[in-house]
Structure 1
Amino acid sequence: MRGETCVQWLSWDVNLKTRLIGETLFNLLFWMYFPFITIYFSEAFGPVIAGVMMTVPSVISIFGSMIGGYVTDRLGRRPTMLIGSFMQVVMFALFALSLSHWWDYISFVGISLGKSLYRPASAAMVADLVSKKERRQVFATFVTANNLGAVLGPVIGAVLFFNYRSELLWTCTLVTLCYSIAIFFMVRETMPKEDRKVEYKSGVLSVIKGQWMSYYVIFRDKVFFLYILGGIFITVSIMQLDLYLAVYVNDHVPTQDLVATKNLLLTLSSEEVFGWMLGLNGLMFVFCVVPVMKLLKKWSDRNTLILATVLSGLGMFLVSVTSNAWLLFLFTFIFTLGEIIHAPVVQNFVSTYAPKNARGQYMGASDLQFSVGRFIAPVTVILSATMSPLFVFGFILACALVSAGLYFVLFRVFSENDPMESICET
């Protein structure tokens, strides 16, 4: 299986190879700081203010994804990726200077904006270069490679972020700069020339109006609207790994002996337990995405997505019943399995469903499910100030079940509109 994947990677276009390597290195560093951002701002401003503050990057990402998708279909994939990546370089440098907590927060928001501009162009480039038959496998490979960093990142970050934060962020700045330079010199434009729509004579108001009308047409599509809505609710559940779960483990999981024998004593603090949970999450993405996708290859997309939402919500809810590290690792396995099943299928759906001449905008609109979901997700941190963990995790489970219902309705409507479409059968 590994040999087959390696051979397939060697035959990829140089654009995909460059992006795969660059994004993998960046994500290694990303997972060293991002999971601990909520704890960092909670300690600085308190859990309620921090919960409100964590919604702002998601709002910014909504507009960033829409602008990124619009620009992607007009200027092209490569220029949009360069704008997003160089913006992250600047913001990482500002974060590394760390003149104040508010300065750090503004820099973090800027990093989120840069990522939201980059993503639609990146996804559209994959759809440009890969055939419909191979896209699901390619997306699964990107998911696997991008989560390599999630194996070691959180474990290392639990030490580096709180003790060597400036050095870590300067390293992020350097790596992102190197990747941006690689995009400039090695990545070529993939959008067909006939689809390019650069509006040199249009004023700012005309461009904004054109962008608004384009997205208005997209969201009138009932199938795509249900797809976005279902994605929003499951994102609320999935995002808790980096939000309320971090707070819960920090507040309710005591330092404990993971292994205690005559010859070996392994004790973990609450931060280290959380780091191990994140490491397990990343490890599963590295080793389980491809085999799980092959195991479920005969399942319909509808059943696959419903299974993913149920596992994600149930696994998160079970966390509320224990503070034992071993049980937390077991429940991490369950909700991560749901996330693994979900990620490649939703990416394949939108790349196949989107019209070729509006691929960037559909990718940008698709990102709204993650942006809006991330906007709603921090409400769990706010609720935790007054509500019990059981109530908060019950809310997370409810969001996952609503997502399952929306996916069921989506595929029923989709099959009625186009019953012969193969995407519903695979």
Structure 2
Amino acid sequence: MRIRDWDPNLKVRLYSEAMMNITFWMFFPFLTIYFADEFGKNKAGLLLVFSQVFSVGANLMGGYCADRFGRKRMMVLSAIGQGLSFLVFAAASSPWLHSPWIGFISFAVAGIFGSFYWPASQAMIADVVEEKHRSSVFAIFYTSINIAVVVGPILGAIFYVHYRFQLLLVAGFVCILFGLILAKMTRETAPLHKNTDLSADRKWYYFLQNQLKDYALIIKDKTFLLFILAGVLAGQTFMQLDLLIPVYIKDFVENQTLFAIGDWSFTIKGEQVFGIVLAENGFLVALLTVFVTKWMDKYYERNVFVLSSIVYAISIVIFSQTHWIWGLIMAMAVFTFAELMGAGLQQSFVSKLAPEHMRGQYFAAASLRFTISRTIAPLSIPMTVWIGYSWTFFVLGFLALLSAALYWVMFVHFEKKSASLGSS
């Protein structure tokens, strides 16, 4: 499906989100290092865990609200909320005020608004794209994000250290502008919901009760529950891209010569190695997502999901065994291949399981594998103090293998359920 044939909503989002994501990735990869320097590794890791707890609840509520009040409304609210949070973060990093605590709270609030945005945005794609084209559309949006992952950190490596205040200020205004563009240029796509009566005679907890009832129905879907659990375990590996990996590189990778020609050589600092490795990840994803997604479409989903987790485990082992820049580059190539294998297929798999009137909630519940992973993953930073880097990497690799086993069990259950429905 060509982009020119897309629904206008998706065209507006594709280009506007690209602008917002580039700005975001100019400073986001460096925030773990910033908080670790300001608070220490132990406290920074625990604070990042704490900040993500609220995002889990916001994510679930975001899916409920996307189904009840509309995709567009929630996306506009989320984009503007993120923008205001970044403006406060900018003020806390300004020449007139230095407050890491205000910065951290603003970062946490921005994460909450981001959790509101995700399920609505994914449900909108499922609303307007036929099932046969969904994996490719999801893959293109994923590619767009990773183009930002290439461009953003490169620009951030140049400007972040000396211009953090200005970057955060720009990010805030860009998010607010994005929200206004969504409000003006997109339409609502959510199917009409029959139970939107929220009249005054309802108790204050009616909204929460209905939300919990709907999610209870989702959790009873054993296939879907196993999908989330396996994703959370795998997520402990891929969430380390902007958590453990930058701290590991900062601690162990010294100045190195990237390449030499005769008497001339190009030497980079340890901190710059992370920028190169992160840019490599984004570049490979931007270049290969659509190709790998089409390639993986030829294989049974079970084999792709299981193999992806195994390759994640291999990549994390390679990371743990090298401080050499070219070894890290190779590890990141393996890591990225694992990421690409399930990039489009997993979202398409969710849309296959979700009833039309509950797509927002299913995508919200599915993204729990990201929000819960993001909640637990920062523990890897204090774990390096408690048990050392080697054992921390070993634990992450083991969790990735455990996720592969859970994916296998999930598909066994899925096949039995499909067979019984087919025979009835």
Shift of 1:200: 3.0
Which digits, 9 at most, give the CA deviation of each residue in 1:393-421, with x for residues without a partner?
Answer: 11110111111011000111000000399
Pair 1:168-2:163 in alignment: no
Pair 1:58-2:70 in alignment: no
Matches within 5 A, 1:354-365: 354-365=354-365
SS at match of 1:266: strand
Shift of 1:387: 2.3
Q: Any conservation in 1 of the 2:68–2:193 contact (CA below 8 Å)? A: no
SS at match of 2:182: helix
SS at match of 2:386: coil
Matches within 5 A, 1:281-300: 281-300=281-300
Matched residue count: 416
Where do 5+ consecutive residues of structure 1 fail to align?
A: none
Q: Any conservation in 1 of the 2:316–2:335 contact (CA below 8 Å)? A: yes
Paired residue type of 2:16: G
Q: Any conservation in 1 of the 2:136–2:294 contact (CA below 8 Å)? A: no
Deviating more after overlay: 199-208 vs 381-390: 199-208
Q: Any conservation in 2 of the 1:73–1:195 contact (CA below 8 Å)? A: no
Shift of 1:146: 1.4
Aligned residue in 1 for 2:79? 85
Paired residue type of 1:289: T
Q: Any conservation in 2 of the 1:237–1:313 contact (CA below 8 Å)? A: yes
SS at match of 1:193: coil
Paired residue type of 1:224: F
Shift of 1:195: 5.1
* Equivalent-residue separation in structure 2 for 1:150 and 1:264 (angstroms): 30
Which digits, 9 at most, give the CA deviation of each residue in 1:99-152, with x for residues without a partner?
Answer: 400000000001101100011111110010001111001001110111111112
Aligned residue in 1 for 2:322? 322
Q: Give the TM-score normalised by structure 1.
A: 0.95
* Equivalent-residue separation in structure 2 for 1:133 and 1:34 (angstroms): 34
* Equivalent-residue separation in structure 1 for 2:204 and 2:165 (angstroms): 39
Aligned residue in 1 for 2:133? 134
Which digits, 9 at most, give the CA deviation of each residue in 1:338-357, with x for residues without a partner?
Answer: 01112211111111211111
Q: Any conservation in 2 of the 1:73–1:196 contact (CA below 8 Å)? A: no
Shift of 1:291: 1.2
* Equivalent-residue separation in structure 1 for 2:107 and 2:135 (angstroms): 31
* Equivalent-residue separation in structure 1 for 2:333 and 2:68 (angstroms): 42
Q: Any conservation in 2 of the 1:301–1:345 contact (CA below 8 Å)? A: yes
Aligned residue in 2 for 1:48? 42
Aligned residue in 2 for 1:215? 215
Matches within 5 A, 1:255-274: 255-262=255-262, 264-274=264-274
Q: Give the TM-score normalised by structure 2.
A: 0.95
Paired residue type of 1:292: V
Matches within 5 A, 1:111-122: 111-122=110-121
* Equivalent-residue separation in structure 1 for 2:397 and 2:151 (angstroms): 28
Flag the 1:32–1:181 CA change in 2: closer, same or farther, 3 A: same
Aligned residue in 2 for 1:148? 147
SS at match of 1:148: helix
Shift of 1:196: 6.4
SS at match of 1:259: strand
Deviating more after overlay: 155-164 vs 286-295: 155-164
Shift of 1:389: 1.8
Shift of 1:198: 4.5
RMSD: 1.5
SS at match of 1:189: coil
Q: Any conservation in 2 of the 1:32–1:156 contact (CA below 8 Å)? A: yes
Which digits, 9 at most, give the CA deviation of each residue in 1:272-317, with x for residues without a partner?
Answer: 1000000000001100111112222221111111111111121122
Aligned residue in 2 for 1:192? 191
Flag the 1:246–1:421 CA change in 2: closer, same or farther, 3 A: farther
Paired residue type of 1:384: T
Question: Of the candidates 69, 74, 78, which is equivalent to residue 63 of structure 2?
Answer: 69
Aligned residue in 1 for 2:409? 409
Q: Any conservation in 2 of the 1:75–1:198 contact (CA below 8 Å)? A: no
SS at match of 1:260: strand
Pair 1:374-2:374 in alignment: yes
Which digits, 9 at most, give the CA deviation of each residue in 1:333-391, with x for residues without a partner?
Answer: 00111011122111111112111111111111111111111111111101111323211
Which digits, 9 at most, give the CA deviation of each residue in 1:201-238, with x for residues without a partner?
Answer: 43321111111111111111111100110110111100
Flag the 1:164–1:23 CA change in 2: closer, same or farther, 3 A: same
Question: Of the candidates 12, 33, 42, which is equivalent to residue 39 of structure 1?
Answer: 33
Which digits, 9 at most, give the CA deviation of each residue in 1:26-61, with x for residues without a partner?
Answer: 111222111111110000010000000111232111
Aligned residue in 2 for 1:181? 180
Flag the 1:420–1:160 CA change in 2: closer, same or farther, 3 A: farther
* Identity value in percent: 36
Paired residue type of 1:373: S
Q: Any conservation in 2 of the 1:68–1:118 contact (CA below 8 Å)? A: yes
Matches within 5 A, 1:211-250: 211-250=211-250
Deviating more after overlay: 210-219 vs 130-139: 210-219
Paired residue type of 1:81: M
